[in-house]
Amino acid sequence: MVMAWGKTKQWRKRMVDSDDEERIEHTEEEEQSMEESDDDEESAGCVAGRARLLDAGSEPATAQAAIAPYIEDIDSYMRYLEKLRRPTDYMPVRPGVTASCRAILVDWLVELADEFNFPADTLHLAVSYVDRFLSVGAIVQKELQLLGATAMLLASKYESDMYTYKAIDYSYMTDNAYTEQQVLKMETHILHLLKFEMGSPTARTFLRRYVTICPRGDVRKLEFLCSYLADLSLLEYDCTKFRPSVVAAACLFVARFTINPDSRPWNLVLQRRVGYKVADLRCCILKIHRLQSIGSYPGIKETAIKDKYSHCELECVSAMGSPCEIPEYYFKDIKDHKNTTSEKWKRSRHI
């Protein structure tokens, strides 16, 4: 597959000033100074802040308590929404788009998000737009990068104006492979095909809640490991067949297994609060665990995701390994006697 992936480093030199529409030109010394400034910002934890699931100053117990009165209603609505706006199995009807093409596009979007400081939630939302678009709309392979860049534009607008760039900037991000007019046209096309329904829960939406259920241990490391696995799941087309809540639960399972392989990753508390038995997650868990073991998508040697999470600011979680096989015992369902008794009592009332 031949794609003119944009050179993101060059985009900074061609940034359009928002006030006078003139291109900014820098000397070599100024460019070096800018890069050093960027490095300082990265070392200050900028990357870590964008990858975190919880607010930096918030403890899990505090975060959970804040939404406790509304948690059931929020969860019910998100479960309804993820079912309503999930993509279909579009590969059979999109011969120009293969799983490998999609993985390359996602990897480029990860690099783009990292280079231009987009939060991880924006990245996940953009990938969901791509999959939902391809579920209902046809596209030629040479416009796949245009679709990805424009999806990122829409996701950044939806998430926050703070990270929004102009359409012409996205043209530069693709190394001028597409014009500003093409970006604007694709933006309109996406909006119409998605019926302007841009809100959609992602795996990170559910992980944000799931992490607060298990506050013991190194929560920060658990957050970053879950974020890493969730990003890896974006590469795998087969993961689109699972609901985001299932992908999130599988990421949590694999993360806990990685941190402590001698302890059962799924317990009764998680089963009750998350709403999934481990048997419901088995297929997704195995796919996430496989992605973790290779740190990439099959056929792609290096990924921006593994490189991103190899830094100490993110606890070097991409370097963490887990046993090659998950013990079969961990996949056995946990008997919930409380719920069993409750169900028997409910059935007896209707006899």
**106 class by beta-carbon count within 10 Å (0-12 exposed, 13-18 middle, 19+ buried):** buried
Q: What CATH number belongs to 203-342?
A: 1.10.472.10
Cβ atoms within 10 Å, residue 334: 16
User: Which residues are within 8 A (CB) of 2 and not within 5 positions of it... i.e. 6 or more apart?
Assistant: none
pLDDT in tens, 65-106: 666 677 788 889 999 999 999 999 999 988 889 999 999 999
Distance CA 277, CA 320 (A): 26
Most confident of 31-45, 120-134, 305-319: 120-134
Percent of the chain's residues with pLDDT above 90: 54
Record the tokens describing residue 303, joined without a space: 């990924």
pLDDT score of 26: 40
Distance CA 110, CA 116 (A): 10
State the span(s) of the chain assigned CATH 1.10.472.10. 87-199, 203-342
Element housing 28 (H / E): helix 28-43
Q: What is the mean pLDDT of residues 256-274?
A: 94
pTM of the entire predicted model: 0.82
Q: What is the mean pLDDT of residues 50-67?
A: 64
- DSSP assignment of 166-178, as one string? -HHHHHHHTTTSS
Least confident among 16-20, 41-45, 279-283: 16-20
Phi-psi region of 166 (alpha: psi -120 to 50; beta: other; left: phi over 0): beta
Distance CA 52, CA 221 (A): 10
Which CATH fold topology does 87-199 show?
Cyclin A; domain 1 (1.10.472)
pLDDT in tens, 230-255: 999 999 999 999 999 999 999 999 99
pLDDT score of 346: 45
